Amino acid sequence: MAHYLLLYQLSADYLQRRGEFRDAHLQLAWQVADQGLLLLGGAVGDPIESAMLLFQTDDPDRIAAFACADPYVQQGLVTSWRIVPWLTVAGPLAATPLKSVAIPAADAS
């Protein structure tokens, strides 16, 4: 299965407003995590400037459905979002593991 990042740009008042919607957001996130779709997710930066969620799927439409159902998106805490493929090549969860790249030896003749 392929990896995708769901990238969220957050509103300027995200920290002030998220409390009201946080439980519903986390409930949705854990629901899709329990299904194996969401691997990791969270805020980025200190102070928080954006959020990133790592999904594993062969159907990016499932990620779009998550974003559209997310209370943070519905309530305007997320000002924009996009889904980008992430070609993972190193680590135990890499979708396309590469331990080395074979480079042909130069012809000595």
Domain ranges, ordered by start, for the chain: 2-86
What single-letter amino acid sits at 82?
A: R
User: Do the strands 38-44 and 2-10 form a parallel or antiparallel pair, or are they unpaired?
Assistant: unpaired
Query: Distance between CA 83 and CA 7 in Å, rounded?
Result: 6
Task: Check residue 101 and give its pLDDT.
Answer: 80
Question: What does the pLDDT look like over 19-71, one tens digit per residue?
Answer: 999 999 999 999 999 999 999 999 999 999 999 999 999 999 999 999 999 99
Return the ∠ at Cα 76 (arms to 71 and 81), rounded to 5°.
85
Spatial contact of 97 and 89, defined as CB atoms under 8 Å apart: yes
Task: Check residue 75 and give its pLDDT.
Answer: 98
Question: From 3.30.70.1060, 3.90.45.10, 3.40.50.720, 3.40.50.300, which CATH number describes the 2-86 domain?
Answer: 3.30.70.1060
Q: Phi and psi of 70, rounded to 5°?
A: -70, 125
Question: What does the pLDDT look like over 70-104, one tens digit per residue?
Answer: 999 999 999 999 999 999 999 999 999 998 887 77
Task: Check residue 102 and give its pLDDT.
Answer: 75
